[in-house]
Amino acid sequence: MTVKQDFIKPVIWEGESIKLLNQQKLPGSVEYIFLTTAEDVWDAIVELKVRGAPAIGITAAYGLALWAKNSEAETTEELLQSLKKTADYLNSARPTAVNLAWALHRLVRVAEQQSTIPSIKGKLELEAIAIQREDEETCRLIGENGYSLLPEGANVLTHCNTGAIATSKYGTALGAFYIAKERGNEIHVYATETRPVLQGARLTAWELQQADIDVTLITDNMAAHVLKTKNIDAIIVGADRITANGDTANKIGTYGLALLAKAHDIPFYIAAPLSTIDLDTATGEDIVIEERKAEEVTHLGGQRIAPEGVQVFNPSFDVTPNELITAIITEKGVIRGDYQQELQKLF
Ligand code: MRU
């Protein structure tokens, strides 16, 4: 199977810099920025210039490889020590999406296996490139597996942005929609705007429009009404961390959608790569939920919409308990039932 769509690339490795699609500027303009230091990469992740679990992991991997390339350490010990510190620093940018830690650990492990400075630098670059390439293949398979669950002409609801720009290519939940398009299955997608920073309105609506996929934008508080009145066949969303028992952290609002899906007897699917599955974390209770700055809630497009001084709670993610998840779609297939057992089997 080949997906014919021309995808915009969110992360491009240039050898001496990372060319990054600035997602903060979408949909108004398609602008790339160049990252050359670990600080640039950290800022880009914190500021959501790059976002989406797999894309964050890929960017951080290139960031660490680039840092090592420019390091003036004189011994392998010195290089390894400061490499680990830099990995910890990059990992501190955002706590919830496990792909960030996963990609950085993968690079640190590779560095530890080398015995010379040139081989550390060379292998880190190759490993970061491999992570990005593997993600492409992985997302294509997730798309295929997700598509297999959709009826002809399906009405599907999705949340946040889980597309090509949140990964290396294709996306996870949106991957299923690209495959549908490719196969001539004219599905219809309802995209929630995804407050507070509107990844659904700014990014998913834009991305699906570019691909000529039939998309309707709704505000988050319209979801229940849409599920009740629009013959929705399925909800498909992504994930930032899936724990050993299948509990899933994803963009704030996902848990509410899962509850609504249950109330309306609509299948609720999570689409994610194995790099988002964290078997070292037992349950959703153990996931650190990122809280972001108040301005994301008090302001819209730079304009204040709430009174000065109001208290704000701004968790960026929530946790959907495993019992609300109909199935988890991965590159290795669709799993259901006892997630504790089934997730283990994937590794
Ligand atoms: O804050 P974001 O935009 O990084 O949150 C993104 C999500 O929650 C996505 O659903 C998730 O990372 C999966 S992306 C394929």
Give the integer Cα–Cα distance in Å for 324 and 254.
Answer: 11
Is residue 240 part of the annotated active site? The answer reads yes
Q: What pLDDT shows up at residue 6? A: 82
DSSP assignment of 142-182, as one string?
HHHHHHTTPPTT-EEEE-S--SGGGSSSS-SHHHHHHHHHH
Count of H helices and E strands in the chain?
Answer: 11, 16
Residue 125 contacts residue 16 (beta carbons within 8 Å): no
Copy the structure tokens of residue 34.
């160049």
Q: Which residue's CA is minimally distant from atom 15 of ligand 1?
A: 162
Question: Which residues' Cβ are closer than 6 Å to ligand 1?
Answer: 51-54, 97, 160, 162, 166-167, 171-172, 199, 238-240, 250-251, 316
Copy the structure tokens of residue 277.
């599955």
DSSP assignment of 290-309, as one string?
PB--THHHHEETTEE-S-TT
Copy the structure tokens of residue 304.
């204040």
Which tens digit of pLDDT belongs to each residue from 120-149?
999 999 999 999 999 999 999 999 999 999
Nearest to 161 by CA among 145, 144, 175: 175
DSSP assignment of 196-247, as one string?
TTTIIIIIIHHHHHHTT-EEEEE-GGGHHHHHHHS---EEEE--SEEETTS-
Q: What pLDDT shows up at residue 3? A: 66
Give the integer Cα–Cα distance in Å for 53 and 18.
Answer: 17
Residues 6+ away with beta carbon under 8 Å from 119:
none
CB atoms within 10 A of CB 324: 19
On the question of a cis peptide bond just before residue 27, with omega within 30 degrees of 0, the verdict is: yes
Mean pLDDT of the chain: 97
Would you call 225 exposed, middle or buried from its count of C-beta atoms within 10 A (0-12, 13-18, 19+)?
Answer: exposed
Q: Which residue's CA is minimally distant from atom 8 of ligand 1?
A: 251
pLDDT exceeds cutoff 70 at 74: yes
3-class secondary structure, 188: strand
Q: How far is ligand 1, taken at its centre, from the CA of residue 276, in Å?
A: 11
Q: How far is ligand 1, taken at its centre, from the CA of residue 238, in Å?
A: 7
Q: What pLDDT shows up at residue 2? A: 63
Pocket test residue of 98, 251, 330 for ligand 1, highest count of atoms within 8 A of CB:
251
Q: How far is ligand 1, taken at its centre, from the CA of residue 249, in Å?
A: 10
Cα distance between the two ends of the chain: 25
Q: What pLDDT shows up at residue 4? A: 66
Which ligand 1 atom is nearest residue 171's CA? 15
Task: Check residue 9 and report its DSSP letter.
Answer: P
Looking only at the bridges linking them, the beta strands covering 268-271 and 327-330 are: parallel
Give the integer Cα–Cα distance in Å for 145 and 337.
Answer: 17
Which tens digit of pLDDT belongs to each residue from 100-126?
999 999 999 999 999 999 999 999 999
Which ligand 1 atom is nearest residue 99's CA? 12
Residue 270 contacts residue 235 (beta carbons within 8 Å): no
Q: Which residues pair with 114 in a beta bridge?
A: none
Q: Tell whether pTM > 0.85.
A: yes
Pocket test residue of 160, 276, 314, 330 for ligand 1, highest count of atoms within 8 A of CB:
160
Which ligand 1 atom is nearest residue 317's CA? 8
Q: Which comes out higher in pLDDT, residue 5 or 304? A: 304
What element of type H or E holds 73? none
Which ligand 1 atom is nearest residue 167's CA? 15
Mean of pLDDT values over 214-220: 98
Give the integer Cα–Cα distance in Å for 224 and 249.
Answer: 21
Pocket test residue of 161, 328, 329 for ligand 1, highest count of atoms within 8 A of CB:
161
Q: Which residue's CA is minimally distant from atom 10 of ligand 1?
A: 238
State the catalytic residue, choosing from 135, 233, 240, 318. 240
Which tens digit of pLDDT belongs to each residue from 303-342?
999 999 999 999 999 999 999 999 999 999 999 999 999 9
Walk me through the domains of the chain, giving residue ranges and CATH numbers.
11-139 (1.20.120.420), 145-345 (3.40.50.10470)
pLDDT exceeds cutoff 60 at 207: yes
pLDDT exceeds cutoff 90 at 5: no
Q: What pLDDT shows up at residue 1? A: 53
DSSP assignment of 93-113, as one string?
T-SS-HHHHHHHHHHHHHHHT
Which tens digit of pLDDT belongs to each residue from 24-69?
999 999 999 999 999 999 999 999 999 999 999 999 999 999 999 9
Q: Which residues pair with 35 in a beta bridge?
A: 18
Which ligand 1 atom is nearest residue 53's CA? 12
